Each structure stands twice: as C-alpha cells, then as structure tokens.
Amino acid sequence: MTPRLVVDKKVCGGAGLCAAMYPERFRLGDDGLAEALKSGLTSPEDIEAAEDVVGCCPTEAITLLGLDEDEAGDENDGEDED
C-alpha cells in the first residue's frame, strides 16, 4: 500500500498547524477542520515530512497509514525501549 495521510476530523482542533507546515498535503476545509489533500506519499522526503506533521499535531488527529511498521497498528513492534 502506498503510504498516505488521513485526518480524523472528530479530534482535529482546526488550528491549522498541519496546513502551515505542509501546505502541499493539508488544507483547512469549509468546516474549519483539516483535510489531507493528496493521498499517496511516494518519496522518502514526502514520508519524512509527513512523519514530522504527524508528530506535531497537538490533538494527534493525523495518521500516516501504509508504512510497514504501522500496518498492524502496533507501535512497539516487539522492540521495547526500557
């Protein structure tokens, strides 16, 4: 699956940080909430920028889908950081 960004509008606060950081991929819709503009992230630079935005969203409304390590929805993936 090509990695892609999705926004959960139920938790988006609408401050627009994502659209400011990454205007090629996000905009604020008429409802004042963020929307992911393009679906597929094809380059390593795209994915790196997407990961930055995911980490900066104050309400954790953005998800990056389709990366191998996120596919199962298990962030630890068996690697403990004790």
Residues that bind ligand SF4 (CB under 6 A): 7, 12-18, 34, 57-59, 61-62
Sequential DSSP letters for 8-77? -TTT-----HHHHH-TTTEEE-TTSSEEE------SHHHHHHHHHHHHH-TT--EEEE--GGGTTS-SST
Considering the complex, state which of residue 40 and residue 58 has its C-beta at the smaller distance from ligand SF4.
Answer: 58
- Minimum CB distance to ligand SF4, residue 82 (Å): 30
Considering the complex, state which of residue 38 and residue 82 has its C-beta at the smaller distance from ligand SF4.
Answer: 38
- Minimum CB distance to ligand SF4, residue 80 (Å): 29
| Nearest CA among 47, 23, 49 for reference residue 36 | 23
Considering the complex, state which of residue 15 and residue 65 has its C-beta at the smaller distance from ligand SF4.
Answer: 15
- Minimum CB distance to ligand SF4, residue 28 (Å): 7
